[in-house]
Amino acid sequence: MLTGKAALVTGGGRGIGAAIARRLAAEGARVALTSHASAEPAAALVREIAEAGGEAIALAADMADPQAVRVVVAETAQRFGRLDILVNNAGMGVAASIEDAAMADFEACVAINFTAVFVAIQEAARRMTAGGRIITIGSVNGDRIPYQGGAIYAATKAAVAGLTRGAARDLGPRGITVNVVQPGPIDTDMNPADSPWADAGRAATVLGRYGATTDVASLVAYLASDEAGFITGASLNVDGGYNA
């Protein structure tokens, strides 16, 4: 579906981001993926994609640094000669009650989960032409937070949903779509299906199970394709009914 396209996936070295990078490459896109703490997994994924006949590059970047975000967007466009798809996947969580949360944790979460998304969208939009696709990985917790200690994380994910709607209005006249994908419980190394809190996550879904990273990647690949050209400003849940 994506032959000839160039994509940037932030936080693409592991988990959901790696699954997205792998799927976009399988669909024919050339993929740049950023990593910070997961440099070796990112390099391994680049090799895997190349062995499968695809093209990928890994770019080191601290997504908490706005200038680093600007650099990786510019480098992706320069290396591939274009930028068609941006997937804002890099993120972090904070587990702390409002009265106990440290200001440093709040600022770090906002920097990575929200500010980096804003900067990446701004920089990518300046380089995209009609048919461009901007997709942010949010969270169902932006709509529903059924546990204590998640206020800061939930706030950042609600913020990117609002940013998505506004950006869709701004960029729609240029033929660029902007959407947010909101995963529910997905089995990753940061949120494993065998963790102490996993039973509560499963119980909150309609299907009674965790999802796979490929479930998220499938929706992202569709939204990145020409077939999804009339979908924009949408918040799309991949959550097994968590928010039903």
Residues labelled catalytic: 153
Helix, strand, or coil here: 154? helix
Contact 48, 33 (CB under 8 A): no
d(CA 122, CA 137): 16
Residue partners of 50: CB distance under 8 A and separation at least 6: 56
Contact 141, 154 (CB under 8 A): yes
Whole-angstrom CA distances from 66 to 24, 26, 60, 124, 199 are 25, 30, 14, 13, 37
Residue partners of 134: CB distance under 8 A and separation at least 6: 85, 86, 88, 121, 124, 125, 128, 167, 171, 176, 177, 178, 179
Q: Which of 141, 157, 174, 169 is nearest to 89 (CA)?
A: 157
